[in-house]
Amino acid sequence: MSSAAVDEVVLQNSQVNLRLNEIQLLLSEKRTSLSALQTGIALLALPLSVVSFLVATSSLYAVLEVLYLLAPLLALCMVLVGLGSYLVIRAILRIQGYDRKIKTIEGSDVIVRELLEID
């Protein structure tokens, strides 16, 4: 092999490695967004549990007598619902963006497309 041929093979391999590293980075970012999604779902589930507990035990107390306790608790539940909703929506949008970027890389490189092809 001539020096030019070796240089061409090295350049092609480095380009393939660069594409694979880009995909690995995008997949790690996607994994981080999935963790944020999981956290958001947990934040949405907590207020539901608290409210269902309050409804189940509502026969044991008068709402007007413990309103000073219920109001801050329900306000905190609303904040948790808002934060959880924000995390879920943000994570879903980011995951879709990462998937689009991976599809773009996959579409532009035949070697990467063969590696990512799933039957």
**What are 24-66's pLDDT values in tens digits?**
999 999 999 999 999 999 999 999 999 999 989 988 889 899 9
* Distances, alpha carbon 44 to alpha carbons 27, 72, 86, in Å: 25, 17, 10
Task: Please report, rounded to a whole number, the percentage of residues in the chain having pLDDT higher than 70.
Answer: 98
pLDDT beyond 90 at 108 = no
**Domain spans in the chain, listed from the N-terminal domain onward:** 3-116
Taking the C-alpha atoms of residue 108 and residue 91, their distance in angstroms, rounded to an integer, is 26
Q: Grade residue 91 by pLDDT with cuts at 50, 70 and 90.
A: very high
pLDDT beyond 80 at 115 = no
For residues 11-25, give the mean pLDDT: 86
Taking the C-alpha atoms of residue 119 and residue 107, their distance in angstroms, rounded to an integer, is 17
R_g of the chain, CA atoms, integer Å: 25
For residues 113-118, give the mean pLDDT: 77
Q: Grade residue 119 by pLDDT with cuts at 50, 70 and 90.
A: low
Three-state secondary-structure class, residue 12: helix
Q: Grade residue 8 by pLDDT with cuts at 50, 70 and 90.
A: confident
> Environment class of residue 54 by beta-carbon count within 10 Å: exposed (0-12), middle (13-18) or buried (19+)?
middle
Give backbone dihedrals phi and psi of 49, rounded to 5 degrees, phi first. -65, -45
Structure token digits, residue 15: 């380009």
Taking the C-alpha atoms of residue 101 and residue 25, their distance in angstroms, rounded to an integer, is 11
